[in-house]
Amino acid sequence: MRILVGCSILALASAACQPRPGPQPNRRGAAGPPPRVRVGSVLRLTRAGVLKVIRQGRQSGLAALVPADKRSGGWQRAIDTQGNQFRVSPQGLIVADGEPHAGRQPTSVANVAYYYTQAYALMAAGYRRQGLQMAAEVLDLPPGDPHVDRAQRSICALFGRLGIRGVVRANLYRNLVGVAHRVAAGARLTNYVHGFVITAPLTWQIMAATGGKLSPDATIMAFSLPRGPARKIQANLLWTTRKKPAVTSLAVFARTRLVTTAGSRIRALRWVAPARLGATMAYEVHPLKYRGRRLRSLQVFFAHQGRIHHLNLLFGPATPTGPPRKALAKLLTTFRTAQPPNPCR
């Protein structure tokens, strides 16, 4: 099956360039006049739609459609079970907006038709990184569902055309760091660089970051936790992973890598971690000054299969230590070493 990504044939590949009901916002956020297309009640779909191979002459492509019994014969607005909103053409094609949405939920099996379409739409609109991130999330989904399998074959073909294989693919995943998909317990996040997975609550906003100036092999996954009932400063978690130095013990590494600022007080904590993680060291650092604010820091170190993990949880000085400590301990129970197979051969 040919996967063509030019706008002239995106009607087959993703419907991202289908005629839209009125002017759309541009990348700078400036919007034209409101759409003149009338729509009926919003479709509330238990599944965004299905992915179906459509052939036109010698060309074929993958189209995302809503079920025939949901179509009204005109343009419709729709929303899926994860809150994703899109339009449906009179022919039943899913038309995504091609705009990034902060705080969106990660890709899921149930709504893969929307995420597949939006990934292409983002790239067609110039949001290459966001489109590649969503495409990688589709590739992260477990195989077996026929619509997931079709989406993955299509994206693998696109990656092949773009030369995203071998070292290029490895660099892509290094830049993305954390690739997530929706599971029953929240968001399953895979770090493909260091080969491990964790499951975070959906309320945690995942913000991946690269290693920057730390070291060539280091990665940082950043999370923003929701604000507490008292509306205090929200907590942020930085999860840094590196290859374990050959001659450095965990204790020495922790002492040299502990994040502190002038005047910080350091208190060692007793930390009971899952047995499979091995030795674990934990510290409370207070105050930790950052951009004029005084924060509390809970830092945990553990070594596992040749990697050292450094977790730094930052929260407001008035926030009790118990809740963030409990949240971090629960996150660590989901840690697993894993390197899911790449569906792109």
Tens-digit pLDDT profile for residues 271-292: 999 999 989 999 999 999 988 8
Residues above pLDDT 70, as percent of the chain: 85
Give per-residue pLDDT as tens, 30-53: 444 444 444 458 999 999 999 999
Q: What is d(CA 181, CA 138) in angstroms, rounded to the nearest whole number? A: 8
pLDDT (0 to 100) of residue 213: 63
Q: 229: pLDDT confidence band, cut at 50, 70 and 90?
A: low
Whole-model pTM: value is: 0.84
Question: Which CATH number is 183-337 given?
Answer: 3.40.1000.10
Per-residue pLDDT tens over the stretch 298-333: 999 999 999 999 999 999 888 888 888 999 999 999
Pairwise CA distance, residues 114 & 189, whole Å = 20
Of the pLDDT bands very low, low, confident and very high (cuts 50, 70, 90), residue 232 is: low
Would you place residue 5 in the very low, low, confident or very high pLDDT band (cuts 50, 70, 90)? very low
Q: For residue 262, is it left (φ>0), alpha (ψ between -120 and 50) or beta?
A: beta
SS3 assignment, position 87: strand
CB-facing half-sphere around the CA of 242: CA atoms within 13 A: 19
pLDDT band at 179 (very low <50, low <70, confident <90, very high): very high
- In the chain, domain spans: 7-21+39-165, 183-337
Tell how many helices (H) and how many strands (E) occur in the chain.
7, 17
Q: Which pLDDT score, from 0 to 100, does residue 211 have?
A: 56
pLDDT band with cut points at 50, 70 and 90 for residue 210: low
Largest CA distance in the chain: 72
| Contact of 218 with 209, CB cutoff 8 Å | no
Instruction: Place 231 in a pLDDT band, splitting at 50, 70 and 90.
Output: low
Q: What are phi and psi of 178, to 5 degrees?
A: -110, 125
Q: Decide: helix, strand or coil at residue 65.
A: strand
User: Cα separations (Å) of 322 from 30, 267, 273, 297?
Assistant: 45, 15, 16, 13
Euclidean distance between CA atoms 23 and 7, whole angstroms: 17
254 versus 1: the higher-pLDDT residue is: 254
What average pLDDT score do residues 240-259 get? 91
Tell me the pLDDT band of 26, cut-offs 50, 70 and 90: very low
pLDDT at 342: 87
For tokens 């002017």, the residue is 23
